[in-house]
Amino acid sequence: MNEQKPTIMLVDGMALLFRAYFATAVHGQFMRNSNGVPTNGVYGFVKHFLTAVSHFNPSHIAVCWDMGSKTFRTDMYDGYKANRPEAPAELIPQFDLVKEVVDAFDVPNIGLKGYEADDCIGTIATQVKEDSHVKILTGDQDILQLLDERISVVLLQKGYGNYLVHTKDTFYEEKGIHPRQMIDLKAFMGDTSDNYPGVKGIGEKTALKLLQQFGHIEGVLENIDQLTKGQRTKIEQDLDMLHLSRQLAEIKCDVPVECPLDLAVFRYNREKVLDKFAEVEFRGLHQLLDEKQYA
């Protein structure tokens, strides 16, 4: 008997919220409600969320959040994400508001101090993938390292309802390496948005070539005498940073969070959601509510 497995969508909450906020903030459209609270990010978040739900029709959903900028990675390397500006003043009150709206859908909000949303997503995906198909909704390519037979990644593209869906096979076709090798790829080339350097002077092209040839960092180091003099010098000069960058790049899949599938069933109470929309003064979003999902 071929039992149909449920599909859980794990949502990178900050990725949706920030994308929605900046898409409208650039024109100064903060959509303040009658209490003066800006709502543009939350409004766009809900639009992204409901559009993805109707497109992919998951049976289960959980939303994961970053819980402040201090994490085990900033303890390891104080430059980690140090180039990020402070959150804009109009976005700050929307951090709590967006979680209230997610609550109104009876969807779990998950986050853990000291870890990033990616670590919570990786952990839950690992816990539930034996019993379900996992789709991760984000705008962040770092999460592609989690791809496997049961985990796919849905990357938000420009606008609403445009997605690039990656599987482990599409990733291999594009990069010529396996998803887990992406951790070593980032260790070599660094990450400008997360602000760690990797090995100075080694870019994506060289790093991909080395990983295709030798498999992983250890393989490269074991065969370092086969590299060009320039490559060898660069790696030897930045060896500590190479190993540190690898630790920073790897998503932890064993953090102390859990989300049993029965807590993530996606069925919401329409009246409860509409009451929240009315309270926040959202207009027009009720049209996106899908009748199949009502409790």
- Whose tokens are 């207009």? That residue is 283
What residue ranges do the domains of the chain occupy?
Answer: 7-174+251-293, 176-249
pLDDT value for 85: 87
Per the DSSP assignment, residues forming a β-bridge with 135 are 9, 152
pTM of the complete model? 0.94
pLDDT value for 2: 45
Cα 208 from Cα 221, distance rounded (Å): 15
pLDDT in tens, the chain (295 residues): 345 899 999 999 999 999 999 988 877 777 899 998 999 999 999 999 999 999 999 999 999 999 988 999 999 999 999 988 888 999 999 999 999 999 999 999 999 999 999 999 999 999 999 999 999 999 999 999 999 999 999 999 988 889 999 999 999 999 999 999 999 999 999 999 999 999 999 999 999 999 999 999 999 999 999 999 999 999 999 999 999 999 999 999 999 999 999 999 999 999 999 999 999 999 888 888 866 666 5
Fold of 176-249: DNA polymerase; domain 1 (1.10.150)
Whether the CB-CB separation of 60 and 8 falls below 8 Å is answered with yes
How far is residue 95 from each of residues 17, 98, 147, 235, measured CA to CA in Å?
A: 8, 6, 28, 41
3-state percent breakdown (helix, strand, coil) of the chain, nearest 5: 50, 15, 40
94 contacts: CB under 8 Å, gap ≥ 6: 17, 21, 37, 38, 39, 40, 41, 42
pLDDT value for 285: 87
Fold of 7-174+251-293: Rossmann fold (3.40.50)
Coil, strand or helix: which one is 19? Answer: helix
